[in-house]
Structure formats: structure tokens, C-alpha cells
Amino acid sequence: MGLLISRMTSLRKSSGQRFSTFDQAHRSCYRPRALGRHRYHPRWALALGAALVCAPGCGPVEYLNIATKAGAALASAKQANAEQLAPYEYTAAEEYLHKAREEAGYSQYQQSIEFGRRAESLAERARALAVIKAQAPSASASVVAPTAAPPEPAAPPPVAPAPAARRSPSSSPASRGSGKPAVDDEQPRK
């Protein structure tokens, strides 16, 4: 192998042509030497590149933050017995959180973040209503109850039956649709 390389080098030197040989350590066979030098990269360009690479990853991070807050708010509302005391707000918060998780499953992070925010606000509202309604009966129980029972209302007077109205011949069931005059049931037949 060494004989071949030395022979190629001697041929190149004698003929004046440039042959590409293996023993040229200063040259790269893949690119010019100028491309191999270290270049100065401005810091703003590096920061911009990092921001562009990381920007698509912000959707899931924000969604996870919102969904965690909404889940905690929903658990707090459930602990305050909002299922019975504020059923509309609690159920709406549950469904919005479910929809947020569904949209995140389809990588629709903007919609899932919006549904998560609605779920969080409704869960907080349900908890607040449940706390207010839970305190309302205790406030009314502290009022002193009357000692004497209220008098019972008098029974309404009896209603006399209305006099029976006589049917007109045209309204009897026998005459409907037949086209014949109605026969009064009170008159004897001949």
C-alpha cells in the first residue's frame, strides 16, 4: 500500500498535475477548508433558534398547569358538597374539565386550555355557592323560634253544586257527524 501512495506522489510531482491522494493531511475530501473553521454565532441568533425549537412545546406545558388547577378546584368543590348545593356549576365544571382532557388528547391545546380555564372558574364558583348555601340554614336556625304554634286556617266554606245545564240537541254525541237532528233522551219514543 505504501508503494502505491509513494508512486502516486511521484507521478504527481513529475507531471505537474494535481492528483487527489491519500497522504494530504491538510485537505479534507468532503469540504473546503474554510467551512471547517469555527465561526462566531451571535447570541441573539442562538436564543432565537432555541425559542423556535421550544415554542411548540409550550402548549402541553400550559395545558398541564391549567388542568391541574382545574382538577384541584373541582376536588375542593366536591369536598364542599357542591354536587348537592350547586349542581349546575359543579356539573358544568366537571364536563368542561372532561372536554379539556379530550381536546388535549387530540393535541388541540389552545381549545383544551380554554376549556380548562372555564372548568377552573366554574369549580371555584360552585365551591363558593356551596359554602354560602351550607352556612345559610345555620344562620336561619339561630333565629328564635316562636313559642306558640300559629293558628290553623279555617276550612273554606262548602261550594254548592251548580245547577245542571240542559244539553242542546246539537251537542249530543249521537248527532255528531250523522247529519240527523238529535233526539232528546227525556222525551218518550212513539
pLDDT single digits (tens) 128-170: 999 999 998 665 555 555 555 556 766 677 777 766 666 655 5
Q: What is the pLDDT of residue 132?
A: 95
Q: How many domains is the chain partitioned into structurally?
A: 1
Q: Which of 23-32, 53-62, 73-82 is the least confident region?
A: 23-32
Q: What is the C-alpha to C-alpha distance for residues 62 and 52, in angstroms, rounded to an integer?
A: 17
Q: Based on the number of CB atoms within 10 Å of its own CB, is 18 exposed (0-12), middle (13-18) or buried (19 or more)? A: exposed
Domain of residue 91, residue span: 58-138
Question: What phi, psi does 185 have (nearest 5°)?
Answer: -70, -20
Sign of CA dihedral 8, 9, 10, 16: positive
Mean pLDDT of 172-185: 54
Domain assignment present for residue 87? The answer is yes
DSSP letter at 27? S
Q: Is residue 46 in a domain? A: no
181 assigned to some structural domain: no
Which band of pLDDT confidence, cut at 50, 70 and 90, is reported for residue 4? low
Per the domain annotation, does 169 fall within a domain? Answer: no
Whether 49 maps to a domain, the answer reads no
Position with higher pLDDT, 134 vs 19:
134
Residue with cell 364558583: 125
Assigned domain for 78 exists: yes
Classify residue 122: in a domain, yes or no. Answer: yes
Nearest-angstrom CA–CA distance, 4 and 66: 71
Give burial (CB, 10 Å; 0-12/13-18/19+) of 115: buried
Structural domain includes residue 11: no
Angle at alpha carbon of residue 165, lines to 163 and 168, rounded to 5° = 170
Global pTM value: 0.47
Mean per-residue pLDDT for 62-82?
Answer: 95
